[in-house]
Structure 1
């Protein structure tokens, strides 16, 4: 989670002043170079604050709205983990099952890697998204429809980073494997499972696991700098993205996120994701035992055992305004941070319509402004002043 610390004051902020401060910070983020920003914060006590701000040059493409669809990238993992835990509750699989049981011969040393290790990133598997074979899809130049099995195969071509269960290391290959396990156990695709088990029951009309570039509703355009304006810190191999050119940027919203699969291909809206969090954390999607499993974390940094922790598809962190559960996600054109409280009654989402600044640490101005907005959103979620 990329959130900056802020010192809360003692007096509670009213929704009006909180909304004003968040809008000011969103405008500062746009002024720092973000093409667009969406913010939604619900403190559980009244009408949510919803904000959409965009750079003037993007208006020729789309008038950004707070309820637009966008790519949530690795926030997908929370839904994928929810599906696995639902099947565990139904006795169709167990978190202690070795991967070999469900994907025989597909994962080296699969007998020593459990489904739990995949869910909490302690498997040691190499991250497939860092393999050059995926790069053309990331850049929008390869529109093939990747399957979970194909993405998994890319990851396991590489040697593991460490022995199963010995360390923590974030790897999208874990969730490609889980996508393949879901298919094996149920006979249905991850996209169908998201639809049937989560989106339809909760009335999430704009939440779906994308397999191609198709959008289903009004959507936020995502942009990255074009090759001529790309910061020097971005590696040469990532500088030339496919898409229409706009004001020194490339509109990448027509490129497929399908290469993210069960690890990162989800599309949603701020309202839908808040409803999902509310249902998840209140026990409407998982029985108490499975929700407790999801919230059982391992340290992200072994040197900080009391620092940020990663559970099963969800992260736990501390902030001066209150502890939170959530995830973040980045895919070209879209950087999203989503958080909730223990109950799901309070939620906050910040979308920045560009992502390379975070992926490659290429724009300190955007990073500073984004951290200020993300931090303020957490404070507002807890009904505290959005102080800097």
Structure 2
């Protein structure tokens, strides 16, 4: 999601961040190795001005997962992030809604060229001609609700309050299209809210049930959930922070109700299971080869925040072309968390990075993307 920190007023908290050596960290990678370069990159991010209290990367190769980590999961206590720590995965949840939609396409319950008007006529008439395909690759022209005044007002007035998905739509219901559907790319969080509502309409089942049946169960995601009324995270968890100059980190783990992200960003998972999900997404667990061919048809566009290398947008997935090769996945941004998960084309290898701050900008974002590129090089052995 976008602009999460705009309405967060920094507050003093009792403890200060001490970047001490990580307690209980796994054996360090061999000096000079590709993994060691990723480790140095994580430490570089944590030590940077405005950097996160903690950072973690997972690299799954040849059936084994390597975990690299730096800093602290909780700024008040020693201990690095762990692969079993729960965290908000933010907009990587869009890849989950894409998996649901493409599964329903495979089952014949939905078509990529079906329109909003045909599948959910209760939505604004101005949106009626938008197709499922355009929702999934962000060429719909739907207004992004996170840019609306109503969203900002909700976050300022009652950030922890529950908002139903229809309430999210109401924030932009009276807005027309931003551009003619299919004419260009523009990332919109509203797209995946509509995908989730359409999935419910065509199946008669709730979106949480669809996630359980289509994604969580088949992929064996036992620590992944879709809480919309609960603000706390299951233990153990990675604390989320906002870091401001000359101020201690502000814990925003439970600052914002995940209901306001719904199918666009409300999922909670762990670094380990995030890697497992993206491997299954590319590995045809949720849908077949025919749907994957459609999924991997790309248009010019970048995830939010941008991932490493050159970005291009597919159906609820992005292509990241780096100097060491190409991977496919999604990024995410939520108050306190910036995420990335990607896999090789066959789903046999995966990489994740998680920082416990919102998506950085400027030099720090460039640093993050550089570390992610280094992780791709380590993943692909190049």
What TM-score do the two structures reach when normalised by structure 1? 0.82
Alignment of 1:222-371 (within 5 A): 222-225=240-243, 229=245, 248-255=248-255, 256-300=257-301, 308-358=311-361, 361=362, 364=363, 366-371=364-369
Checking the alignment, whether the CA contact within 8 Å between 1:140 and 1:252 is kept in structure 2 is: no
Cα deviation, residue 62, structure 1: 6.5
Root-mean-square deviation (Å): 2.3
Within 2, Cα distance between the matches of 1:68 and 1:207? 11
Gap runs ≥5 in structure 1? 1-13, 231-246, 302-306
Cα deviation, residue 224, structure 1: 0.3
Range that drifts further, 207-216 or 311-320 = 207-216
Within 2, Cα distance between the matches of 1:146 and 1:21? 43
Range that drifts further, 372-381 or 274-283 = 274-283
Which of residues 202, 216, 219 in structure 2 aligns to 1:199? 216
What TM-score do the two structures reach when normalised by structure 2? 0.83
Q: Number of matched residues?
A: 342
Cα deviation, residue 166, structure 1: 1.1
Within 2, Cα distance between the matches of 1:333 and 1:140? 19
Within 2, Cα distance between the matches of 1:154 and 1:46? 45
Deviations 1:61-117 (A, max 9, x none): 875323211111111111101101111111112111110122214123333111111
Distance 1:15 1:83, change over 3 A: same
1:22 paired with 2:38, answer yes
Range that drifts further, 50-59 or 78-87 = 50-59
1:221 paired with 2:239, answer yes
Checking the alignment, whether the CA contact within 8 Å between 1:335 and 1:355 is kept in structure 2 is: yes
Within 1, Cα distance between the matches of 2:73 and 2:65? 26
Checking the alignment, whether the CA contact within 8 Å between 2:73 and 2:81 is kept in structure 1 is: no
Which of residues 15, 25, 41 in structure 1 aligns to 2:59? 41
